[in-house]
Amino acid sequence: MPIDIENDNIQTALKKLKAREDSFRQLEKISHLGSWEVDLITHKSIWSENSYRLYGFEPFSIEPTFETFLSHLVPEDVPRAKLAIEKLLASHEASSFKGKIRTEDGSVKDVLLTAQALYDKNGTPIKLIGTTQDITQQVKSEKKAQELSSIIENSANEIYILDWETDRYLYANSTACDSLGYTKKEFLALTVFDINKSISKEKAQELKNQYEDTPAPYIMIQTIHTREDGTVYHVQSNLQHMYYNSKKVYVIFATDVTQNILVSELVEKQAKLLKYQASHDPLTNLPNRAYFQQKIVETINNAKNHNTGFALLFLDLDHFKDINDSLGHQIGDKVLQEFANRLQESVRHDDTLARIGGDEFTIILNNIKKIDTISAIANKIIKTMQEPIKLASKELHITTSIGISLYPKHTQDKSNLIKFADTAMYKAKEEGRNTYQIYSTDMSQYAYKKVVLENSLRVAIKEKQFRVYYQPQVNSLEKKVTGMEALVRWQHPTLGIVSPADFIPLAEELGLIVQIDRLVMQEAMQQFSQWYKEGVHPGRLSLNLAMAQLQQEDFSNFLFETMHQYNFKKEWLELEVTETQVMQNPEYSIQLLEQIHNQGIHISVDDFGTGYSSLSYLKKLPLNKLKIDKSFIDDVPKDEDGIAITKAIIALAKSLNLDLIAEGVEKEEQKEFLLDNGCNAIQGYFYSKPLPADKMKIFLQTEI
């Protein structure tokens, strides 16, 4: 109720003001909104009751200041917030800012801040007033809506939305545009009759009437679509009525069934088609798992009857999960199709190639008399995959691991034949991927040990059985430690120290490498901060970073929160990524690494020279350092190839103005060769093997 200035006494007016204030507080709660003001001279703030709640405080439990607000922003949003405030003060207009805050209980909220500056008579800003609104649910809803929109946009079906009254297109997804050859803008000028020329307006109205008279959620129709170039194809569509932007519309989901229509003209062909669909993979058109299971039985029976032998190859794509996770299933599907095409080009006419699921394929090589024939085909497949796959603007380097079992040498049982080939494939992965392995009985024992190791590894993560060792990086010219690489060791309770070579590949395969990386990061940062606090100067900490770690949505938050927790400075940190991982998806890697590099953190490429680097991509990567791989240093200065490659890498680093370090240096002559050729930074047993923290501290306090 408004205050009546002429008739209300002071007590009545105060009651009305109190009622209005209570209503305002209630409104703030309902809208997840808090109001505030900041004195720009004293930096003191006045917060409404709900402002305290938004930041996780009991109302009026603290005296807020401008710094209270800044300290609750997540670190990456602080620079943006300061810039927004500068613009606000200069603009003399109200302004809004979206960001994230971390409340007192540690939870993260999305907030919208709206503010206006107040000025004195000289135009000097003296106060900020505004509101903070919790928009966490709104942001989640928007993200969900975007995801649903992406699903619709990239659906394998053609999806259209049309005005119920005018039959004009209001929307067509990308699949529809690609299928018909029209742009989205061109679609908006068309009606349903431009695409479906065989449907009259009368027929369309009849279908609408039929839909409204039926209790079914949709009606199914078949029609012919006419492309922009005049060609046609058959589609099967379902039509549904709904409302879109408050307008009555009908939605059409259409699928190209041209082949089905043609086949259905003959019953015999229809039966064949159904049989084909039941036995073939729709993505690659290869025989599927059901076909393969039947074929392997037939092949075994035939081999028994004719006393012949054959080989079973089990293949999958290396790191295929990373492609799906980073680029999406649509790109992943195209990679599988290209992989299937290349496999078909590599096998013989009477061999059987099948996709049995995901990125797993099998090949039955018939009439095999010599192992050399199997090796030749396996090598041909591996070589075929060396050519990068080009998809739009992306260039992907894909490899495959192959396991091989032999009939009747290894077994005459179908299940064992498949199991042995699968076991051999995993052995190929253990050997570094991009290779093949023929089954041996030792592999079954190894597979059993692997299962045991996997269970132990999960326990090790839960119980934090990992220890960090440190290997110094030395400027050999100045005889000074410039940093050190953190290397993980597994302190098994009964087996003792387990070599990283035995558990890191398994951790990567199982998706456990992210958790291990984070344990190493926390322990190493805590140790480095302690050393600096004690006056020991270990230089820069070099952490190995798996690409799976980079692809985690919360990686940036975790990294900076860990640094903040242990008072670890960004100038102390260098992240190492391997060349092979970067080149699996260079465009995506560049984008991720730039985000980190822009925060002032050094990036280096480990194992440089062992992969398939393109110099054009190398120039784009936000790098500070190249690390020469140990394999090139091992035989220097005796090996001419090693000398040539090492000199080339040194020259390349200098031309790109990058720092350089050589790993695996063990001998005096190797060190001298590197110094003579301009590489002063060295890591290896020549100075020290990896050491636990207590022994590394002694090393740091000892003169080199």
Equal fold, 284-439 vs 461-700: no
In DSSP terms, which residues pair with 402 in a beta bridge? 315, 436
Q: How confident is the model at residue 314 (pLDDT cuts 50, 70, 90)?
A: very high
Sequential DSSP letters for 98-152: EEEEE-TTS-EEEEEEEEEEEE-TTS-EEEEEEEEEE-HHHHHHHHHHHHHHHHH
Confidence band, pLDDT 50/70/90 cuts, at residue 8: very low
pLDDT at 523: 96
> Which fold, 154-261?
Beta-Lactamase (3.30.450)
Residue 540 predicted with pLDDT over 90: yes
Q: Mean pLDDT, the chain, as a whole number?
A: 88
Cα 635 to chain centroid distance, Å, stands at 38
Q: Is the pLDDT of residue 311 over 60?
A: yes
What per-residue confidence (pLDDT) applies to 471?
97
pLDDT tens column, 320-332: 888 887 788 888 9
The answer, yes or no, to whether residue 23 has pLDDT greater than 50, is no
Question: Given the structure tokens 């480990």, which residue do they identify?
Answer: 606
DSSP designation for 572:
G
User: What integer is the mean pLDDT of 449-477?
Assistant: 89
**pLDDT band at residue 15 under the 50/70/90 scheme:** very low
The reported pLDDT for the residue numbered 562 is 96
CATH number among 3.20.20.70, 3.20.20.450, 3.30.56.10, 3.40.220.10, domain 461-700: 3.20.20.450
Decide which of 3.30.590.10, 3.40.50.2300, 3.90.1150.10, 3.30.450.20 is the CATH code for 31-136: 3.30.450.20
Cα–Cα distance, 516 to 471 (Å, whole number): 18
Please report the pLDDT score of residue 7 as a whole number.
Answer: 56
Domain ranges of the chain: 31-136, 154-261, 284-439, 461-700
Supply the pLDDT for residue 17: 41
CATH level 3 topology of 284-439: Alpha-Beta Plaits (3.30.70)
Strands (E), 383-478: 389-391, 394-396, 400-407, 436-438, 466-475
394 closest CA partner among 127, 146, 677, 588: 588
